[in-house]
Amino acid sequence: MAKAAVAGGRALAPSARFNLYGPVWPRAMDPHDIDRVVASFGRAVELAREAGFDAVEVHAGHGYLISQFLSPATNRRRDGYGGPLARRMRFMREVMARVVEAARGEVAVLVKVNMRDGFRGGVELDEAIEVARTLEQDGADALVLSGGFVSRAPMYIMRGAMPTRVMGRLMTDWTLRLGLALFGQTLIAPFPYSDNYFLQDARAIRQAVRMPLVYIGGAASRAAIDEALGHGFVAVAMARALIRDPAFIRNLAAADGSAATDGAAALCDHCNYCAARIYTTHMACHHREPPPARLRA
């Protein structure tokens, strides 16, 4: 999805396939590109280690570069990096080798991975299990289990519906605004929200590997968090709940061991206005802060 004006050059991808959500037409990576990008992953970890960070997270999900190599929908290569899953994992494995080397055992390496891409023709759970086993073998310290594809099924990640009218008001390109106005709910199709919406798939990964796993997806209440942790996950991750309710975890800790119900669930109503504001630098929950003028009706 990277635009040339932002990335400083034409976007790179496993295969040169038009991305309607950009809209961009990326260039297929050649062996030199692959070597250079793999080295960049390693250098990023070196910088994090030198800066004193305890951990890094390699993003191998959500339709970003490693995820594009893994997905049969975006990887149409006919060389050693495309075709069967073993070859589609090659780029990921080269990245992991460089990352683990750069970490030197001093920095924990987490990897965020998809359990499903969220659309027909993408990665499904059976392949995700093999990806998880391979990452365990290749030295990942923990996996963060997610799903969805920002350029094909973005709401599979967050669930609920995207307020496309708000998103359109923030875009400077009139063609993108028009496209959202006409086809927004088709291009960014909603997925129903429920607590712990990734838990069933995540439990299948839990049964397949022995490494620590982090659960993400609809853990926005004490009951949902306890349920996830009760299935053997070492931690839960959240974002929208804390944008709406920054004191949520503190309130849970304060109520721990008591009969109090205050703070048992975050106040987030999963309206996704925060996600619609992704094209601004004013990231906030609209319940907590007045929206910028151009967001107001």
DSSP string, 6-67: HHTS--EESS---BTTTTB-PEEP-HHHHHHHHHHHHHHHHHHHHTT-SEEEEEE-BTSHHH
Where are the chain's structural domains? 4-159+194-237
Catalytic residue among 21, 64, 81, 215: 64
Q: Which stretch of DSSP H or E encloses residue 152?
A: none
Residues paired with 236 in a beta bridge: 215
For the chain (297 residues), the mean pLDDT of every run of 10, in chain order, is 72 84 82 97 98 98 97 96 98 98 98 97 98 98 97 92 80 72 78 96 98 96 94 95 91 70 78 82 76 55
Has 64 been annotated as catalytic? yes
Question: What stretches of 217-278 adopt beta strand conformation (E)?
Answer: 235-237
* 123 contacts 117 by C-beta, under 8 angstroms: yes
Instruction: Tell me which residue of 160, 147, 150 sits closest to 187, measured CA to CA.
Output: 150
pLDDT at 61: 97
User: What is the Cα gyration radius of the chain?
Assistant: 20
Q: Could you give the angle at the alpha carbon of 2 between the alpha carbons of 268 and 31, nearest 5°?
A: 130
- The CATH label, of 3.20.20.70, 3.40.50.300, 3.40.50.12660, 2.60.40.10, for the domain at 4-159+194-237 is 3.20.20.70
